[in-house]
């Protein structure tokens, strides 16, 4: 085999290796990107579920606490902000508002023993706590997907190709006020 053929074989071999690497990297990034999109979708589904529960909860409390108009307005505004949030940053800001508003509605509810004994209220409360747990799990799943995706983009040599292949870092779902969502709203009996 002459030197020209050897050189051509080496170039062909290297081209194949680089091509396989790019193919594998691209497919890995697409897969992780889709997982992050799916995880975000899970969060939005749970946020929507909670947003659908809140009007029922407000109506249950309204019958007992008609004079607490400001509390209901704050919950409604916070709910609207959560439903209309676009992306993790806006959703995180809305989460803090909604958690504070929900705590205030449960504080109002504590003043009405008959309300706390209502099966409808108790069922709504249980569903809300369940939904909060699901939101928390979805948020962890989403952030894990973002972590894996961002890591794959940032490691060498992927960091050379990722941006050229059209991929950029994704945003974590971080809450502005972590204390506001540290645990689901509580109701004391």
- Position 178 pLDDT exceeds 80: no
Judge whether 169 lies within some domain. yes
- Position 70 pLDDT exceeds 70: yes
Tell which wins on pLDDT, 87 or 120. 87
Q: Would you state the pLDDT for residue 27?
A: 92
Tell which wins on pLDDT, 173 or 188. 173
Which structural domain, as residue segments, surrounds residue 136? 3-181
Residues 157 and 78 sit within 8 Å (Cβ to Cβ)? no
- Position 44 pLDDT exceeds 70: yes
Judge whether 188 lies within some domain. no
Judge whether 186 lies within some domain. no
Q: Would you state the pLDDT for residue 3?
A: 87
Helix (H, G, I), strand (E, B) or coil at 156: coil
Radius of gyration, CA atoms only, the chain: 25
Judge whether 189 lies within some domain. no
Q: How many residues does the chain have?
A: 189
Output the pTM of the full model. 0.68
């Amino acid at each position: 085999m002459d030197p020209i053929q050897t050189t051509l074989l080496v170039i062909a071999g290297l081209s194949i290796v680089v091509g396989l690497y790019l193919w594998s990297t691209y497919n890995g990034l697409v897969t992780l990107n889709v997982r992050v999109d799916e995880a975000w979708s899970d969060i939005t589904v749970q946020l929507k579920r909670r947003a659908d529960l809140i009007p029922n909860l407000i109506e249950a409390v309204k019958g007992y606490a008609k004079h607490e108009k400001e509390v209901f307005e704050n919950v409604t505004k916070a709910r609207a902000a959560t439903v209309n949030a676009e992306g993790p940053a806006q959703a995180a800001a809305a989460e803090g508002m909604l958690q504070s508003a929900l705590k205030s509605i449960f504080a109002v509810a504590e003043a009405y023993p008959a309300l706390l004994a209502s099966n409808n209220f108790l069922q709504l409360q249980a569903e809300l706590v369940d939904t909060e747990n699901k939101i928390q799990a979805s948020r962890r799943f989403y952030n894990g997907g973002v972590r894996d995706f961002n890591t794959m983009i940032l490691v060498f040599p992927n960091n050379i190709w990722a941006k050229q292949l059209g991929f950029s870092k994704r945003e974590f779902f971080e809450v502005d006020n972590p204390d506001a969502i540290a645990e689901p709203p509580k109701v004391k009996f």
